Amino acid sequence: MTGFIFALTLRQLVFRRSTLLLLLLATIPVLVGIVFKIGESNEDPERFTVRVLCVWLAVTTVLPLTALLFGTSVIGDELEDGTVIYLLTKPVERWRILVPKVCAAWLMTTLLVVSSIAVSSLVVLGGDAGKVILGFGLAAAVGALAYISVFVMLSIVTSRALIAGLVFVFIWEGAVSGIFEGVRFLSIRHYTLGIADWLTKVRSDVLDAYVSGATAVVLSLVVIVIAVVYANRRLQTVEIREAT
Amino acid sequence: MASEARAVELKNVSRWYGNVVAVNDISFDLGAGITGLLGPNGAGKSTLLHMLAGLLKPSNGDALINGEAAWKNPDIYKVTGFVPESEAVYPFLTGFEFVRLSARLQGLANPDAAALKALEEVELMDAKDRAVGGYSKGMKQRIKIAAAIVHEPAILLLDEPFNGADPRQRLRMMEMLQRMAADGATIVFSSHILEEVERLAENVLVIVSGRLAASGDFHEIRRLMTDRPHTIRLRSSDDRRLAAALIGQESVFGVEIEGEGLTVQSSDLVSFAHVAPSVARGAGVSVFELSPTDESLESVFSYLVQR
């Protein structure tokens, strides 16, 4: 039963216009990598790949934006246009609706972000890109699940989930965690970087994450569990008003 | 011995949004057959159906399906189908996929066969392989009904189901609902169109401003609506003379001359319509205009509320 909802959600995401925009966004690290490769830069290719392509572009920009658009749409859009009625008026427990939707959004986000990381790293590092792709790929997959869980929850809690998500990504994780270091323990971006640092084992002058790998994994799991459990609770009491 | 639970029951149900009362202390219970919720737009019919469908929590009272609370109870959907008023569907699914999804979520043993049967019921077999996003409004109504009846529910709730359907489709849908009711289903549908309710429902609940204004047999309610006082506006070549002639008629109990024209209060619109031309002719007055001023459904409903 959950498989049908998973397949339905994947089709919803594929047919969204914004998916094309996200696909273009995911190509930006690749294009930047090509420019780096063509140009004669003196910068260390590994340092450039990690700091610019993976950290700044993939983890800081492509990952949260992709997760935001997919995460807030899988249930939020259905609540807004009323199609969720066709799922909610069935003898199906609400978590069986929620979980496949989270999984579908996670899969799409992970596919886009990991592809972006893999292709852009290969462009710059060639055969030496293995550990960067593996480390950042796995970290991005964990980060994507954490972001998606939070954004799906936001879309059930508020009709302004997109704005709330943008505030979280750019104000909280971007500005506030840049000023107050302690806030990084409440930042999915920093969990992702912590896991990537742990798995890639690159030099500390290339990547030195604030949150350690093990802590990042634990905190990511805590965020995922809290967000999904709370989203499920809210979905059980979500009210659908008549068409206006 | 405890009495058997009715299929659909509301017990002192109210629902408000902030300071706005959408449904105000409504109670009724329904068994097998077709019941029409009749009322003007914004009367609270949809809110009521949404509470029965477990999609809205009553602010007060209980909305029950087979004796069980509808709110936070997914089990009611095993025996209940709901057709929303909203046109929204999954536009990328074909008609068949849309109905089959419903069958699968109902956990039916053979979803494909159930979907085809439901599509046949609503006469959409020809369009079953087309994406529902390209369906007309009437077709969307029918595909939503097919999705709601795919598990052959004992209770079917429909919110303005005939919107957008052409007269032929409307007739076929009514025949289908009558067949379901004859087989023992409890069907509740909302409409703001008197004629729809008249043709289909044996039992009527008139909802106005969130309150239950009248309930019972349709013909009784129709009689109340017809027998109410009517106001008719006339313009003639000599309003004063016409007023004097009309006041003597049995069906007229008040005449008022105001500006250009006169307003007549009548207890029987049909009789008045019969006698008015001959009375005018007898008085040597030409009538330029004769129009009932309170024939809108809203004014009819208001009268029922004030009774």
pLDDT digits (tens, 9 = 90+) for B91-133: 999 999 999 999 999 999 999 999 999 999 999 999 999 999 9
Within 8 A of B68 by CB-CB distance, chain A residues are none
ipTM above 0.95, yes or no: no
What is the average pLDDT value for chain B, to the nearest integer?
A: 89
The verdict on a CB contact (< 8 Å) between A83 and B53 is no
Q: Is A107 left (phi over 0), alpha (psi -120 to 50) or beta?
A: alpha
How far is the alpha carbon of A4 from chain B, nearest alpha carbon, in Å? 7
Question: What does the pLDDT average to over B212-218?
Answer: 82
Least confident of A103-112, A211-220, B9-18, B165-174: B165-174
Helix (H) or strand (E) holding B177: helix B167-182
Q: What is the mean pLDDT of residues B158-175?
A: 88
**CB contact A17 to B (< 8 Å):** no
Read out DSSP for A157-210?
Answer: H-TTHHHHHHIIIIIIIIIIHHH-GGGGGG-HHHHHHHHHHHHH---TTT---S
* pLDDT value, residue A214: 92
| A91–B54 CB contact, under 8 Å | no
Judge whether A243 is closer than 8 Å to chain B, CB to CB.
yes
Q: What percent of chain A has pLDDT over 90?
A: 79
Q: How many CA atoms lie within 13 A of B61 on its CB side?
A: 21
pLDDT category at B2 given cuts 50, 70, 90 is very low
Per-residue confidence at B302, pLDDT binned at 50, 70, 90? low
> In this predicted model, which residue has the larger pLDDT, B2 or B26?
B26
Note whether A89 contacts B78, CB cutoff 8 Å: no
Subunit contact A86:B90, Cβ cutoff 8 A: yes
Mutate to test the interface with A, among B47, B86, B144 (most CBs of A within 10 A): B86
Contacting residues for B223 by C-beta, under 8 A, at least 6 apart? none
Asked if residues A158 and A79 have their Cβ atoms less than 8 Å apart, the reply is no
pLDDT tens-place string over residues A133-163 = 999 999 999 999 999 999 999 999 999 999 9
A77 close contact with B: CB closer than 8 A: no
* Cβ pair A83:B101 closer than 8 A: no
Considering only CB atoms, which chain A residues are within 8 Å of B47?
241-242
Q: Collect all residues of chain A within an 8 Å Cβ-Cβ radius of residue B55.
A: 85, 88-89, 239-240
Q: Angle of helix B95-105 relative to helix B137-149, nearest 10 degrees? A: 30
More confident residue, B221 or B232: B232
What's the rounded mean pLDDT across residues B13-36?
A: 93
Q: Is the pLDDT of residue B266 over 90?
A: no
CA–CA dist A65, B128 (Å, integer): 37
- Chain A hits for B92, CB-CB cut-off 8 Å, are 11-12, 15
Asked if pLDDT for residue B295 goes beyond 60, the answer is: no
Distance of alpha carbon B305 from the chain centroid: 17
- Average pLDDT (B277-293) is 87
Q: What number of C-beta contacts closer than 8 Å exist between A and B?
A: 83
Instruction: Identify all chain A residues contacting B77, using CB atoms and an 8 Å cutoff.
Output: 89-91
Helix, strand, or coil (residue B62):
strand
User: What is the pLDDT, as a whole number, of residue B1?
Assistant: 42
Residue in B with minimal Cα distance to A6: B101
Rounded to the nearest angstrom, the minimum Cα separation between B225 and chain A is: 28
Choose among B49, B76, B84: nearest Cβ to A82: B84
CA pair distance A59, A211, nearest whole angstrom: 15
Q: Distance (Å) from the C-alpha of residue A11 to the closest C-alpha of chain B?
A: 8
The pLDDT > 70 percentage for chain B reads 92
Residue whose token pair is 């339905």: A8
Residue A244, pLDDT score:
47
Measure CA A214 to chain center.
19
Could you tell me the pTM of the whole model?
Answer: 0.84
Q: Please give the pLDDT value at position A41.
A: 79
Residue of A nearest to B78 (CA): A91
Residue of A nearest to B150 (CA): A90
What confidence tens digit (pLDDT) does each residue in B43-65 have? 899 999 999 999 999 999 999 99
Q: Given B82, B101, B104, which is nearest A89 (Cβ)?
A: B82
Average pLDDT rounded to a whole number, residues B138-152: 95
Residue among B144, B70, B147, B102 nearest A1 (CA): B102
Label the pairing between strands B80-83 and B20-30.
Answer: unpaired
Q: Assess whether pLDDT exceeds 60 at residue B24.
A: yes
CA A43 – CA A62 distance, rounded (Å): 23
* CB of A35 less than 8 A from some CB of B: no
List CB contacts (< 8 A) between B70 and chain A.
none
**What pLDDT is recorded for position B229?**
74
Chain B residues with CB within 8 Å of chain A CB: 46-47, 49-50, 53-57, 72, 74-78, 80-82, 84-90, 92-93, 101-102, 104-107, 147, 159
Does the structure show a pLDDT above 60 at A21?
yes
Segment A106-134, tens digit of pLDDT: 999 999 999 999 999 999 998 889 999 99
**pLDDT band, residue B215 (cuts 50/70/90):** confident
Q: Is A159 on the interface with B (CB under 8 A)?
A: no
Q: Buried b / exposed e across B198-222, counting CB within 10 Å, b at 16+?
A: bebbebbbbbbbbbbbbbeebeebe
- Please determine, for residue B296, whether its predicted confidence score (pLDDT) is greater than 60: no
Minimal Cβ distance to B86: which of A5, A15, A82: A82
**To the nearest whole angstrom, how far is the Cα of A115 from the nearest Cα of chain B?**
26
Write out pLDDT tens, residues A37-63: 998 778 899 999 999 999 999 999 999
Q: Which residues on A lie below 8 Å from B87 (Cβ)? A: 243
Per-residue pLDDT tens over the stretch B227-251: 677 788 888 999 999 999 999 888 8
CB B302 within 8 A of CB B208: yes
Among A1, A91, A242, beta carbon nearest to B85: A242
- Angle among Cα B155, B160, B166 to the nearest 5 degrees reads 115
> Which of A223-237, B101-115, B150-164, B196-210 has the weakest average pLDDT?
B196-210
Q: Which of B49, B102, B107 sits opposite A86 (nearest CB)?
A: B102
Which residue in the set B47, B53, B72 is minimally distant from A89, CB to CB? B53
Section B212-240 average pLDDT: 80
For the cut 70, the answer to whether the pLDDT of residue A243 exceeds it is no
Statement: residue B220 has pLDDT above 90: no
Q: Which of A205-209, A229-233, B292-296 has the lowest mean pLDDT?
A: B292-296
- Judged against a pLDDT cut of 60, whether residue B162 lies above it is answered with yes
Give yes or no for residue B176 having a pLDDT over 80.
yes
The per-residue pLDDT for range A189-201, each reduced to its tens digit, is: 999 999 999 999 8
- Please determine, for residue B226, whether its predicted confidence score (pLDDT) is greater than 80: no
The answer to whether B41 and B24 have CB atoms below 8 angstroms apart is no
